[in-house]
Structure 1
Amino acid sequence: MSARQEPITGTAAGVPFTALPPAGEAETPAPLVVTWHMLDAPRTNAAFAAALPMHAVPAWRIHLGMPLSGARMPEGGLAAAAAVIREDAMLSFVDAFVRQATGEFPAALAELRERFPLDDGPIGLAGGSLGGAVVLRHLVENRFPVRAAALVNPAVRARSVVGLVEAMTGPYSWTPEANAAADLLDFVALAGELAARTPQVPLLLVSGEEDHPSLRTDAAELVDALRERYTRPEDVRLTTVPGLAHPLADEPGLEPAPQLPVATVVDEEITRWFAGHLTRP
């Protein structure tokens, strides 16, 4: 990694970030790709930046921290964060995390644009696991232009995520409020809204061959639903990575670590996707 690609760390509107500059002139405005990490390893913005640095993408890659993660980890660390998940898997965990990460982004983006030499064009979005739900929620809300997006082992349906939590905590008691929140995070059901954007956003889904079966099924169903609705079905792609389970890094996944071979494959897939679409007129 060249000196100009050393990570820059800080906060923007209270959101921790790890920024990787593009190669080339440091002061020349460049496109922006923003990511949200998963809550499995790598579970911080710094660790996610090390796992998926996308060095060959001609853009700033700014990795944002998720709520209750990394620098915002509650006192008690991972155990305290796990207690939040057990409190209410849908409302305290999935819905709360996605709503906060989505809601705090506009102010963070405005501050990042003031701090870094970013061009004023559409941005790229990427997310892993629950971070993928943040990306999809942004695409549904359609509050800013997006050039392309990429998801890794994404949380396409909130109910599937709750199902995974249930395997550890026991049956979840669904309430009308929880069901309403889950409906807003069922992106197969919301495929029509995702496809209604103008222009339609090219979307890459990277699915680990050994990821949770429910998440793999959801990813495939989302791709099918979008391809039926996209003017260019080839703008929605599903790539399966052999040997990849849900995490992209070894535990505990809190600090930057050498890139695992499976993460290298994912990084290459996402790099090709963004390098191709960020430079498209």
Structure 2
Amino acid sequence: MEKGDMWRLRRRKTMNSFTNEELAVLEEKYRLTTRTASSSLTIQANGLLDDQQLCSYLLQVKDKIKAANTTVAASLFIKRYSFAILIALYSMSVLNKRLDFSFRNIWIETLDEEEPLWLPSFRFSHLAADEPGNVDRVKWREEAIQQIFGGHIDLLFTHVKRQSRLSKLIMWENLYTYIRWMYESLLNTPEYHGQHETLANDFHYLVKEGAGSLFGSYHQNPLLRCESSQQRVEKNGTVIQKRKTCCLSYLAGSKGKRCSVCPIDCTSK
């Protein structure tokens, strides 16, 4: 029995659904969808745990984004997949709702096959969410993070690494960059001022305090390395936080164009 099945069996009376307004935000900002698409690039996340399916999928991604090789395709795939994590983290920190983040519950939906950048959306088969209720929120948050990262992301990273030889360091920094972007954006948006404390605490816990074991077989939180290793530099009059690793996106599509936080580009300027 998959962890997601156990989660549904254990779910408390505090289960709740999302309002139309909440769904609208997740759809607009974080690529949630309730639509299905008949595309070869649409896949149930559970299929990514099958080496043959994953290999085939990465080759399709490679062709779609015109990547130089499957290593590049894998890196950009992880960047796209990061939005599934953002959906779960936004739900946890802003809405106080914990999604079932099991592989069987998530679908990658390619709604626009004409989009050259390939920006897939994410559909959850079951959108019911677990709220903390009378349970200690710190413990509830810990369980949510363990399911998202230790029970899902690290396992996915292991399979992707085996099929593409992409370093997990790059994968974790790809993910960290989007997590930091989301939390910093929310913390700087007046609309979320009333939730500032929860957002700040959750972000701090994710990238600094959370035990390595919550993220997989790690002695140290893998996001902590990203948080501590990224350097703030000034570029074109703006202070940016440059990456430690390169995401390789310059080797796809319009080759040669680097991200604004690319360590190679930042160093060479």
TM range (shorter): 0.3 to 0.5
Which structure is higher in helix share? 2
TM-score, structure 1 normalization: 0.36
